[in-house]
Amino acid sequence: MEIILLKDVDSLGKSGEKVNVAPGYARNYLIPKKLALKATKGNLKKLDDISHKDDKARERDKASAEALKEKIETLTLTLLKPAGEEDKLYGSVTSTEIAAALSMEGIDVDKKKIVIDEAIKRLGDYTVSVKLFSEVVANLKIEVLREE
């Protein structure tokens, strides 16, 4: 089934692209969540009108994401966690904790946009990625210290 993406979908493509997907995926997931439309002549024409407005909005969003990236990359978060022998944490540092620490610094980021490559289970310094926009990814430094 041919559809037009209204928003960026990681596994499919960017907004405005026309892609082929399984009918069930389109009917049950993409269309109800307003991520896509059926690729009809009327929808294609409507998309051309909308895409010109979206380009300007996308540029504004990208510029604000770039500014936020610079702010995040200058920051080093310090998290205090209880730890046992050999500097092992009781549990691990989660994206929810990182998002909460960022909000304390005045930066609101959705926890789903924080990418932790390897589980943080020891004390030390780490770097995690924060996906701010489709092409803008910030590297956040985190320092995990023992809670006294």
Same domain (yes/no): 57, 79? no
- Residue 85's pLDDT is 87
Same domain (yes/no): 57, 73? no
Whether the CB-CB separation of 15 and 9 falls below 8 Å is answered with no
Same domain (yes/no): 141, 78? yes
Same domain (yes/no): 43, 97? no
The reply to whether the predicted model has a pTM over 0.75 is no
Parent domain of 132? 69-146
C-alpha pair distances (Å), 101 with each of 11, 55, 57, 82: 30, 33, 29, 16
C-alpha pair distances (Å), 33 with each of 7, 37, 101, 124: 10, 10, 30, 41
Same domain (yes/no): 93, 139? yes
What is the DSSP secondary-structure string of 6-74? SS-BTTTB-TT-EEE--HHHIIIIITTTTSEEE--HHHHHHHHHHHHHHHHHHHHHHHHHHHHHHHHHT
Same domain (yes/no): 59, 74? no
Q: What is the pLDDT of residues 80-124, one digit of tens each?
A: 999 998 889 998 999 999 999 999 999 999 999 999 999 999 999
pLDDT-derived band of residue 42, with 50, 70 and 90 as boundaries? Answer: confident
Same domain (yes/no): 76, 123? yes
Whether the CB-CB separation of 124 and 87 falls below 8 Å is answered with yes
Write out the two tokens for 66: 């770039």
Whether the CB-CB separation of 130 and 112 falls below 8 Å is answered with no
**CATH number where 8 lies:** 3.40.5.10
- Residue 27's pLDDT is 93
